[in-house]
Structure 1
Amino acid sequence: MQLDLNLLTALDALLEEGSVAGAAARLHVTAPAMSRSLGRIRHTTGDQILVRTGRTMTPTPYAIAVRAQVHELLHQVQGVLAPSRELDLATLERTFTLRWHDSLVALSGPALLASVREQAPGVRLRFVAESSVDTPELRRGEVDLEANANRPAAPDIRAENVGETRLVIVVRREHPLTLDGALTAQRYAAAEHVTVSRRGNLANALDDALARVGLSRRVVATAPTEAAAFAFARDSDLVISVPEATTRSLAAGLGLVVLPLPLELPSAPVYLSWHQRYDTDTAHAWLRGLARDALALCGGS
């Protein structure tokens, strides 16, 4: 059977976008043309690939199982067919998926997007939310770049420290900690706290630091994002402890006050991570450079 490599490109777009219309727009073809490609893919594979459920399309179990393999195969084919092609940013058309900590998106995302649009107007960025569990999207090729405080342990994942930030306290204006007396570790520990954790963790490294000096704090709630935690602090005496580099712009907009943390604690790193398959990908390397600059420019270092 003679295979058409164009079907691999179409299949990758269909699995990425989850719809005929989305895949057509991504590849700059008409919806009827993409629908015909889907029909050929179904005939070739013997699988429906996408099935309609109400107003949306849902991938079949087979489609889910081969999605990462299809993406990897397409990347390999592109590398074989154009190994020495120079990067032409003016004509580059590509969609990059970035899974960054939400506060890093708010802080550095606009600067990154502005640089990308200025240099390569055909490039699109997909910022997706972090997961509450460890996920292998980097390895599967579903995420191009991660940015957060975690250094991946897998040997096939590259990680670059692009900066660091220290923890600070965020409270409402006229909070008791902003009034009389010095801000001590004892006063900090005596307050009620809200932690920021996508996994719902009520304790973190701060509790270990407090324990080392014989103190403990009472955590009354956990929030999945800093923006959500700030809403708790805005109208109460709850205390939020978060990285400084990702905090000041958000806090100022809500009328909150940023105070120094009265504890000796190492600075928190900011890591940029990607899979080793993209080491020699010139477009990916270009994006990594812009991301590195955006994170550093907006306070990552």
Structure 2
Amino acid sequence: MRKDKMGLLFIAPWLLGLCIFKLYPFIASFILSFTKYDIIGTPEFIGLQNYIKLFTQDKVFLKSLFVTLRYVVISVPINLVVALLVAMVMNSKMKGISIFRTVYYIPSILGGNIAIMVLWKFLFSNTGLVNQIVSSLGGSPISWFSSEYGTLFVIAILHVWQFGSAMLIFLAALKEVPQELYEAAEMDGASKFKRFLNITIPSISPIIFFNLVMGLIGSLQEFNAPYMLTKGGPLKTTYFIGLYIYDNAYRLFNMGYASALSWVLFMIILILTALVFKSSSYWVFYSDEGGK
């Protein structure tokens, strides 16, 4: 009993934080989603009206959901591919490779802070470095923040740029692949591409699955980049669902409706994640189970 009490004492700060900052808001948002609540006054119970309005009248929600899903389709696969390719380079035997690993991880530490957003706006401005490179190659400067696809591309590239965490996880997985498999395949005359396709990919498929799920969940909740770079513009072409929830909650003070939006987003994340888990039985290989 004494050991149990000591254990509870040590994890008490974490439990307290979980209850206050995670569990309580989770339950409260579900209750508020059935109310009309402006933060200042008392919540007024209105049943399913928020959800009915959301699915039958709110065209902005559908547009923001479409924008978010399109961003996910663009950014998540590219992020996975770039992270894996860089991890394979980092896995090679090169001088000073530890320095390169640190440098490639720095963007993930910096994340979406204000300084990075200012830098990104400067890089993709009409006279920024990116347009200078385009001009030097004979092209015309691009108004990145004035077109639908340009702004979404800039936000997606920013997400891809922060590939450090996925890269390190891939790197750890690559180091666990038995070298004997590569040696045997090489003796059989298998090319590098075939070794990559038939040995590397199946061996690290659980890690690909993990990074895919984490990338999917993170991208569906994207907020910092569109908020700081475009504010949802131009013409709401980068108006992610996270921005829509924020505007309803803290600009329009419609906390009940924002809570309903949050729960719909939660269910979308849950469904898409479940579909990825369902598909994993066809392409994820666990060596300890002896099959797929």
TM-score (norm: length of structure 1) = 0.23
Whose RCO is larger (CA < 8 A, sep 6+)? 2
Q: Relative to total residues, which structure has the larger strand share, 1 or 2?
A: 1
Q: Relative to total residues, which structure has the larger helix share, 1 or 2?
A: 2
TM-score (norm: length of structure 2) = 0.24
